[in-house]
Amino acid sequence: MLARVIVGAALGAGLGAAWWGLREFIASGAACSKDDWDCLGLGLLAIPVSLVVGVLVGWVVLAAAKVERPLGMAAVGTAFTAVLTLLTIWFPVTSGSVLTGALGFALAAPVTARHPAVRAARRPAGSSADPAANHG
């Protein structure tokens, strides 16, 4: 599990850095004109495109790293990262998307991991969930 969290955090940091670079590139006006709100339009178009690209790149990288359930982890990690980025947009942190990317994918690692049903189904005898205790 620790390796899964570390791989996820590294991937999230890399994707966060790529998003930060893209955002700065658009904001500089190098990819658009600052007249007639062109940069805002390009930025709004870049958000959903980068989410889809983030899931696909994450899936490929996690599959190459032999991580179990790579597509689920990539999708959940990207969603967590997007939510964390929106929640932290009011805090001026330099390259904050790197931190939110690492945290989003690190949180997605245990959430999307396989958990054996035997462990989840085990309950102490005599508990209210034990059918034998209810029919005694």
Contacts of residue 59, Cβ cutoff 8 Å, sequence gap at least 6: 70, 71, 74, 75
**What is the residue-level pLDDT of the chain in tens, covering all 136 positions?**
888 999 999 999 999 999 989 988 888 888 887 777 788 888 889 989 999 999 999 999 999 999 989 999 999 999 999 998 888 877 777 778 899 999 999 999 888 888 776 655 666 655 555 555 555 4
pLDDT the model gives residue 2: 87
pLDDT the model gives residue 124: 60
DSSP state, residue 31: S
pLDDT the model gives residue 121: 62
Q: Model-level pTM? A: 0.76
pLDDT the model gives residue 43: 85
pLDDT the model gives residue 93: 74
Question: In sequence order, what DSSP letters do the residues of 82-116 get, joined into one string?
Answer: HHHHHHTTTS--TTHHHHHHHHHHHHHHHHSS---
